[in-house]
């Protein structure tokens, strides 16, 4: 695409800047004026016999264009919808995943605020807008998931002043909302399960800078009924970007923003993917001095890499983890940019 056309395409999209006025429940759904958006569900559950599982269900919306177009074809693609489904069978030490890429359309993929629904084929989320309970349904070759997620704490707006800044430039940011602890009840492959989940919703048009390689993101649900979200942005030169940040959520649901200087993340052990050759730091030491908190993060199993089979989605590691140290806990770890720089 010629440079001027590329700049025009980006100019048509709204940028994430301070001053956004959140309106719920509407803001739990799509924002077509922004280029990229995702809804991430991850959780750790147990069957009645004690068998442990981790799950991930994520829906992506990626706008290809915005505004008037000379292309009047009914087959014109304005938005792409991606979805990833993953199941970690912790005790069997098995990781399975499936991916989807579709265009919008009835029965194909889409998002509807009036219906309270996000879907990609027969994978969907149905949202009770009065209680914020969310019902997840997804069926793949060897994964059958039906889960109801009920918030135990209110939604958290991540970042400062309503925005999660990721870089120096205007628009190098996102609007970012989390449900940090949801009670889970339902079935996995027909077996009743229960546990806890985390939900993230982010929307933006130009999140990362060209000097940024990827990120390491941690959701931490501790047994003392507190939560942490931490992320560090890695630069292409190997350094850590100062816009790395986090959030601490107390027992009462009150959120405290954490700056890069407030925490330390140190890799402790690595796993090399036999599929991609990527070397992921799958064990970490985490310190938050202001909270008198010291944790060790360990993967449920080493291989929880999702390998993209198309150029529309990245290859990344996302998996169930446990925490030990000051308190025990569980959560998820996401690592991107280890096969190639993240670009949206």
CATH assignment at residue 113: 2.40.370.10
By C-alpha distance, which of 18, 261, 342 is closest to 157?
18
If one counts the domains in the chain, the total is: 1
Instruction: Quick: pLDDT tens for 12-46.
Output: 899 999 999 999 999 999 999 999 999 999 999 99
Spatial separation of the C-alpha atoms in residues 191 and 148, rounded to whole Å: 14
Domain of 59 in residue numbering reads as 3-335
pLDDT of residue 78: 77
Instruction: Quick: pLDDT tens for 251-302.
Output: 999 999 999 999 999 999 999 999 999 999 999 999 999 999 999 999 999 9
pLDDT of residue 314: 85
Any domain includes 166: yes
Any domain includes 86: yes
Any domain includes 343: no
Residues near 229 by Cβ (< 8 Å), separated by ≥ 6? Answer: 158, 178, 180, 217, 218, 219, 220, 246, 247, 249
Any domain includes 90: yes
pLDDT of residue 1: 30
Low-confidence ranges of the chain (pLDDT < 70): 1-11, 65-77, 310-312, 343-344
Q: Give the predicted TM-score (pTM) of the model.
A: 0.93
Strand 109-112, strand 94-103: pairing: unpaired
Spatial separation of the C-alpha atoms in residues 229 and 248, rounded to whole Å: 7
Any domain includes 272: yes
Task: Indicate the SS3 state at residue 114.
Answer: coil
Any domain includes 293: yes
pLDDT of residue 9: 44
Residues near 340 by Cβ (< 8 Å), separated by ≥ 6? Answer: 314, 315
- Token pair for 116: 């309270």
Task: Indicate the SS3 state at residue 97.
Answer: strand
Any domain includes 302: yes
Any domain includes 124: yes
By C-alpha distance, which of 121, 128, 167, 177 is closest to 149?
128
Q: Which residues of 30-43 are buried (b: 16+ CB within 10 A; e: fewer)?
A: bbeebbbbbbbbbb
Q: Which residues of 297-308 are buried (b: 16+ CB within 10 A; e: fewer)?
A: bbbbbbbbbbbb
pLDDT of residue 71: 53
Give the total residue count for the chain: 344
């Amino acid at each position: 695409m010629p440079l001027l056309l590329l700049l025009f395409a980006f100019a048509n999209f709204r940028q994430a800047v301070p001053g956004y006025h959140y309106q719920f429940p509407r803001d739990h759904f799509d924002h077509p004026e922004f280029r990229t958006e995702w809804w991430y569900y991850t959780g750790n559950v147990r069957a009645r016999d004690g068998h442990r599982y981790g799950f991930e269900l994520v829906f992506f919306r990626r706008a290809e264009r915005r505004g008037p177009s000379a292309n009047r074809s009914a087959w014109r693609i304005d938005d792409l919808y991606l979805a990833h489904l993953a199941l970690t069978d912790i005790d069997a030490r098995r990781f399975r995943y499936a991916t989807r890429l579709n265009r919008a359309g009835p029965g194909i993929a889409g998002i509807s605020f009036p219906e309270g629904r996000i879907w990609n084929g027969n994978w969907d989320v149905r949202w009770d807008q009065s209680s914020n309970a969310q019902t997840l349904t997804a069926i793949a070759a060897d994964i059958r998931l039906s889960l109801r997620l009920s918030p135990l704490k209110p939604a958290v707006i991540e970042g400062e002043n309503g925005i999660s800044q990721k870089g120096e430039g205007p628009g190098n940011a996102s609007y970012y909302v989390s449900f940090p602890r949801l009670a889970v009840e339902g079935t996995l492959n027909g077996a009743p399960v229960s546990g806890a989940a985390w939900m993230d919703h982010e929307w933006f048009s130009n999140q990362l800078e060209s000097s940024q390689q990827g990120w390491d993101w941690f959701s931490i649900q501790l047994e003392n009924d507190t939560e942490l979200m931490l992320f560090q942005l890695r630069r292409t030169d190997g350094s850590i970007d100062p816009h790395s940040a986090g959030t601490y959520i107390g027992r009462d649901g009150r959120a405290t923003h954490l700056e890069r200087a407030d925490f330390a993340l140190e890799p402790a052990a690595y796993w090399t993917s036999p599929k991609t050759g990527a070397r992921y730091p799958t064990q970490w030491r985490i310190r938050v001095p202001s909270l008198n908190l010291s944790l060790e993060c360990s993967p449920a199993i080493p291989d929880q890499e999702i390998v993209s089979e198309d150029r529309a989605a990245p290859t990344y590691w996302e998996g169930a983890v446990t925490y030990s140290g000051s308190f025990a806990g569980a959560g998820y770890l996401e690592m991107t940019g280890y096969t190639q720089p993240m670009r949206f």
